[in-house]
Amino acid sequence: MTGNNNEQWQMTLPGEWTVRQTGEDGKEIEIPLRDHPALKKYATKDEAVKALVHAQRMLGKTPEGYVRLPGDQDGPDELAAFYAALGRPEAPDGYELPGMDLPDGFELREDLLGGLREKAYELGLTPAQVSGLYQWFLPLVLDAHHGLEAEAGKVRESELESLRSVHRGDTPALLDSALRAAEAVGGKELLAALDATGAGNRAAVISAFAKIAPLVLESGLRGSAKGWGEDLSIERLREMMRDPRYSDPSKRDPAFVKKVNQGFEHLYPGDYVPGSRI
């Protein structure tokens, strides 16, 4: 049908039928319905009527893919329905975190991962959003962890060097005495605390424990095996006698030898020859 025919069917509409139309200046004016530009896309009056009927049928229906954004007046149920429509899982454990390579000895705490899932669920995030954030953020955490480890290594080496500058060849014996004294005083819990805080790497702390080692270890051995520093047993003594600090004359450590002898004294009171009962 030609453009003239198209204009012809529009012109059959009564002139008194008018509608409000916004002009280019933003102001509303009243124009005849037959002049409305929306009618130009319909070739015939029948097409225009069919389009009107279809539009009436769609009134009140939600278009496919439409998601209504909750307002301030909506409650938790409406908000939950909105998040579900966006793709949020039914529960926090529905978030699957992608597998990623971790450094040896590095483990992610399950409680932290659980907290991540809980917060993601609270915020209404989709699984794809959580996965993307996890893959972006975890490498940053690993980089920070490596940086802290490297810094701790530098501090440890610096402190150890300061001990070597003072004690020189006696430094290994000093470290051993300090370690045994710390264990005798506070057990495994104290050693763990020293490691966790980094205090065990400080020269001042090591020197302090080394100074009290003779008092703690020797007095403890005379009265109880607990002051010996480890579980006292014949197997442990046999292992210590194979240590170069005991068996190798060129590396013999008097403090270490004394400790072995005191272990025998406690296990076998009276006269004895070290090694005769092994």
What tens digit of pLDDT does each residue of 235-266 get?
777 888 888 888 888 888 888 888 888 777 76
* 128 occurs within a structural domain: yes
Residue range 171-178: average pLDDT? Answer: 83
Residue 149 lies in a domain: yes
Domain co-membership, 206 together with 252: no
H-state helical runs in 14-87? 45-58, 76-86
| Structure confidence at residue 269 (pLDDT) | 54
State the pLDDT confidence band at 175, using cuts at 50, 70 and 90. confident
Residue 229: pLDDT over 60: no
Q: For residue 218, what is the DSSP state?
A: I
Q: How many CB atoms sit inside 10 A of residue 29's CB?
A: 11
Helix (H, G, I), strand (E, B) or coil at 150: helix
Q: Which among 186, 214, 242 is the end of a domain?
A: 214
* C-alpha–C-alpha distance, residues 28 and 271, integer Å: 117
CA 133 to each of CA 82, 128, 130, 236: distance values in angstroms, whole numbers, following the listed order = 21, 9, 5, 51
CB 216 within 8 A of CB 181: yes
Which token pair is 26? 């933003």
What's the confidence (pLDDT) of residue 3? 47
**191: in domain:** yes
Beta bridge mates, 18 = 32
Do 180 and 125 lie in a common domain? Answer: yes
Region 78-101 average pLDDT: 89
Residue 224 lies in a domain: no
- At 96, is the pLDDT very low, low, confident or very high (cuts 50, 70, 90)? very high
Does the pLDDT at position 17 exceed 70? yes
Are 109 and 203 part of one and the same domain? Answer: yes
- Higher pLDDT: 60 or 152? It is 152
pLDDT tens digits, one per residue of 24-51: 787 888 888 888 888 888 888 888 888 7
Residue 219 in domain: no
User: DSSP E strands: which ranges in the chain?
Assistant: 18-22, 28-32
| DSSP designation for 41 | G
> Is residue 74 assigned to a domain?
no
Q: Which domain holds residue 271?
A: 231-278
Is 139 part of a structural domain of the chain? yes
Whole-number percent of the chain with pLDDT over 90? 12
Tokens 């240590």 correspond to 243
Residues whose CB is less than 8 angstroms from the CB of residue 217 and which lie 6 or more positions away in sequence, other chains included: 177, 180, 181, 184, 227, 228, 229, 259
Indicate whether 148 pLDDT > 90: no
- Asked if 171 and 206 count as a contact pair (C-beta separation under 8 A), the reply is no
Q: Give the chain's domain count.
A: 3
Residues 188 and 259 in one domain: no
**Spatial contact of 227 and 147, defined as CB atoms under 8 Å apart:** no
The answer to whether the CB of 182 falls within 8 A of the CB of 190 is yes
CA distance 30 to 5: 25
Q: What percent of the chain has pLDDT over 70?
A: 81
Question: What is d(CA 184, CA 176) in angstroms, rounded to the nearest whole number?
Answer: 12
Which tops the pLDDT comparison, 211 or 105? 211
How far apart CA 75 and CA 205 sit, in angstroms, is 59
Residue-level pLDDT at 2: 46
Determine the number of helices (DSSP H) and then strands (DSSP E) in the chain.
11, 2
In a domain, residue 208? The reply is yes
Does residue 182 register a pLDDT over 50? yes
Please tell me which residue, 137 or 278, carries the higher pLDDT value. Answer: 137
Cα–chain center distance at 162: 36
> How many angstroms separate the CA atoms of 255 and 258, rounded?
5
Q: Are residues 209 and 113 in the same domain?
A: yes
Q: Give yes or no: residues 159 and 200 share one domain.
A: yes
SS3 content of the chain, % helix, strand, coil (to 5): 65, 5, 30
